[in-house]
Amino acid sequence: MRITNLIVLFSLFMHTTLHAQPYPNRPIRLIVPSAPGGGTDITARMIAPKMADLLGQQIVVENRAGAAMIIGSEIVARAAPDGYTLLMGISTLTINPSIYAKIPYDAVRDFAPVSLVVTLPNVLVSHPSLPVKSLRELIALANKRPQQLVYGSAGVGSNPHLSMALLETMAGIKLTHVPYKGSGMALIDVVGGQISMMMSAVLSGLPHLNADRLRAYGVTGGKRASSLPNVPTIAEAGLPGYEAVQWFGVLAPAATPRDIIVKIHNATIRSTNEPSIRARFIADGSDPVGSTPEEFTDLIRSDIAKWAKVIKLAGIKEE
């Protein structure tokens, strides 16, 4: 009986000791809801080593792709709110609620935003054979040829698709959308002249623009891209108020304690602003920004409302 009591007391002691240890005291999982090699994955792997150094624990980047990023996002939404399972979220998180009838989590209620990491603008490009040289000329041509100009995207509901849908809505034009299984395939067909245009990631489109295989009309961000200083924003080029960027940021499960969120936030911000990492982001066409948890929450809420309106006006539906 005494031995049993000692075992129970020892177990209670160990349980209390382990839980009294400051966060983090074991490896952290950073879930990427997409396949290796994409922008979300690259962003996660760029900041994870520095974050691990700052937090004093290994950060394991784990790819859990599928179902328009829903599978990986659900893993984090359902994880224990203890700071050991994090999400490298992407702006698709704010698009899916208006595309899919059933999502196993709530994009606002089930996550605790930690910090925005980077934003990535697209650039509107066309094959040089398209007989227009400015956004205003492109809009005029589209008005003369409703639904005759064809654009490609990474798929229905992707950020490039909705960036173009927003342009259509604001400009009052009708184009024809051809969804591809990834932006790379769409870009190949624009360069080859099989389709007229697309919203391309700045990094992907840059080599073709420099080689005059593509023509640029405007970038989708609120400011000009550092790698394309001579290309105006779409707002500057003729659609005031237009802005549509993709973003990546770190989120935790809802109800994660505030002190843990603060530790993860500080590590995220310091990693994002580390000079060598920041330089790599900029070279890749990204804008390293960082944010407070509250600012990130506001962005998520505003993007959900913004894309819901665009999706409804454009009549975009789950395929």
* Percentage of the chain lying above the pLDDT 90 cut: 77
Question: 279 phi and psi, to 5 degrees?
Answer: -65, -40
pLDDT greater at residue 154 or residue 162: 162
Provide the CATH number for the domain formed by 121-237 in this structure.
3.40.190.10
Q: What is the pLDDT of residues 44-94, one digit of tens each?
A: 999 999 999 999 999 999 999 888 889 999 999 999 999 999 999 999 999
From residue 299, give the alpha-carbon distance in Å to each of 18, 238, 285. 36, 25, 21
pTM score: 0.84
* Percentage of the chain lying above the pLDDT 70 cut: 93
6-15, 133-142, 179-188, range with the lowest pLDDT:
6-15
pLDDT of residue 264: 98
The ranges of the chain annotated as CATH 3.40.190.150 are 27-120+245-314
User: What size, in residues, is the chain?
Assistant: 319
The ranges of the chain annotated as CATH 3.40.190.10 are 121-237
Residue 113 β-bridge partners: 251
CATH superfamily, domain at 27-120+245-314? Bordetella uptake gene, domain 1 (3.40.190.150)
pLDDT average, residue stretch 239-259 = 96
Q: Is 212 helix (H, G, I), strand (E, B) or coil?
A: coil
- Helix/strand/coil percentages in the chain, nearest 5: 45, 20, 35
Q: Is pLDDT at 212 greater than 50 in this prediction?
A: yes
Q: Is pLDDT at 8 greater than 80 in this prediction?
A: no
